[in-house]
Amino acid sequence: MSAPLQIGLLVFPKVTQLDFTGPLQVFASVPGAQVHLIWKRIEPVPSDSVLTLTPTVSFADCPQLDVICVPGGAGTDDMINDEEMLEFLRRQAKGAKYITSVCTGSLVLGAAGLLRGYRATTHWTAMDFLAPYGATPTKTRVCIDRNRVTGGGVTAGIDFALTLVSILLDRPTAEAIQLRLEYNPAPPFDAGSPDTAPPEILARMKERNAPGQQRRSEANRVAAARMA
């Protein structure tokens, strides 16, 4: 009897909950898989919304994972310079079968030195921050480069997770999970990408995001300089 798949998703302060709850729902449907929510300590972790998260295992007690996944959110601006987080990722990456992320979680993988020489994707607002980590930015919803699998922004996490299940197991298993979740997107507006959103909406979002982009730029500058 084969050992169960060990799948771990990181949680951290100001994580975007949908970045990992989408994949979590998919991974929780994988027969026999053991899914972990991981943080430094077992303590409540505030997300970027009203939801507070409870880790299931600490860094110190986490088993060797087959899949490690870093979600994104405003909290990644702190995680890219958090040596305890980065060292945990490096340590786990040595034995993991797949090293993955959703949204700006790819920047944390990059800061840990785990995307150098790999293609990767991220949220559309963060694409320019991948190259300084030695990654090749790839504008796609799910990017697969050997054992690095990265998802685009937020809702792409479900596509990412279903794709990864098809790789880990098989397509029929992934399709059955998709049907169970009734994942059949039909968005009410064609505004989910900067390529299709109305220009005035795109301009509004860029203006709203400007302060956060400035903070993210500085945090990534520090992280990339540390790796140089």
Point out the residues that are catalytic: 103
Nearest to 70 by CA among 40, 37, 94: 37
Q: Is the dihedral of CA 73, 25, 174, 63 positive or negative?
A: positive
Query: Cβ neighbours of residue 132 under 8 Å, at least 6 residues apart?
Result: 110, 220, 221, 224
Instruction: Report the alpha-carbon distance of residue 111 to residue 222 in Å, rounded.
Output: 10
Extended strands (E) in the chain: 6-10, 34-39, 45-46, 52-53, 57-58, 67-70, 98-102, 119-120, 136-137, 142-145, 148-151
The CA-atom distances, in angstroms, between 27 and each of 39, 85, 163 are: 18, 22, 11
Neighbours of 182 (CB within 10 A): 6
Instruction: Report the alpha-carbon distance of residue 56 to residue 185 in Å, rounded.
Output: 31
Q: What's 147's DSSP letter?
A: T
Nearest to 18 by CA among 160, 206, 115, 116: 160
Q: Is the dihedral of CA 31, 97, 175, 188 positive or negative?
A: positive
